[in-house]
Amino acid sequence: MAKKVVPEAERRRRRPTRQGTVLSERLIVHTALRMLREHGSAGLTARRLGSALGADPSTLYRYFAGLDDLTRAIGEELMGRALDSWVATGQWRADLRALGLAIHASYLAHPQAALLTASRVTGRPREIQVDETILGILRGAGAGFGDADAVGVYHAFIDLALAFAALDAGALAIKDEARAADEEMWTSTYARLSPTTHPHIAATAHLLADRMNQSAYPVVLDTLLDRAEARLATVRSRGTGQGKRPGARPGPET
C-alpha cells in the first residue's frame, strides 16, 4: 500500500539534506527532470533520486505517493512551463496557436520526460490551469464556441500537441549518431532511388530532404485551426449552433 504523503506544512519543517538543501516538491521535480535528461526513464529510481538530492530514498514518499505520482508532477511541470512562457493577445486563433507551440516546445526541451508523460493525465493544478485556459479561449467572447464544439476543438487541439510532442521527442531522445543517420536517409537513400522504380519519390526527393527532418506540427496545427475557423464562420452565417451555452455564439464542430 502506498505511503501517506506528508502535508506541505510538515515537509517545510524537515531538516536540510546532507547537501544542505531543504527539500520541496519543486526541487524533486527539477532533479527528476535532470535525471531523465541524463539517464532516461530507466534511470529514474527512488534510489538514484535520493542520491542526487543527498537524501534517503524513502524521503521521496513524504512528497509523492510513489514514482507514478512523481511522473504526474513532471507532466504538470512541463505544462506549467508552457503556460508561463505564453502571453495572451485576446485573439482566439493567435492565442491557441501560440499556446500549442508553447506546449510542444516545453515538452521537446525535455524529450525523455515528454516520452514518459505525454500520454498521462495528471489532474494536477497547473495542467488543469492549461485546460481551463484553452476552454476559456474557445468559449470566450473572442471566439464564442458552443460548449460541445469547444470541447471538440479542445480535444483535437491538446491531443495534437501532445501526440507531436511524443513523436518529435522520440527523435530527440535517441543517440545523436542514430538520429543523424536517420536524417541523412533522405539524401543517402531516398534521393538516390531510380525514377524508373520510384517515380514519385524521385520527383520529390529534394523537397522531402528539405522538409522531412522538420516537425510537421505547426502545419497540422494550422490545418486544425483553419478548419475550426471555417466552421465557425459557416455556423455564424447560418445563425445556429450546437451545444450552445446561454448567451454564447454558435461554434464549430470537429
Q: What is the pLDDT of residues 84-108, one digit of tens each?
A: 999 999 999 999 999 999 999 999 9
Check: CATH 1.10.287.610 for 1-65? no
Positions of CATH 1.10.357.10 in the chain: 92-238
Report domain 92-238's class.
mainly alpha
pLDDT single digits (tens) 130-184:
999 999 999 998 898 999 999 999 999 999 999 999 999 999 998 899 999 999 9
Per-residue cell: 51: 542520491
What type of residue is 34?
R
Percent of the chain with pLDDT over 70: 86
* Whole-number Å distance between alpha carbons of 234 and 40: 47
Buried b (16+ CB within 10 A) or exposed e, 125-151: ebbeebeebbbebbbeeebbbbbebbb
The residues, any chain, with a CB within 8 Å of residue 79's CB and separated by 6 or more, are 103, 106, 122, 126, 127, 130
Positions of CATH 1.10.10.60 in the chain: 1-65
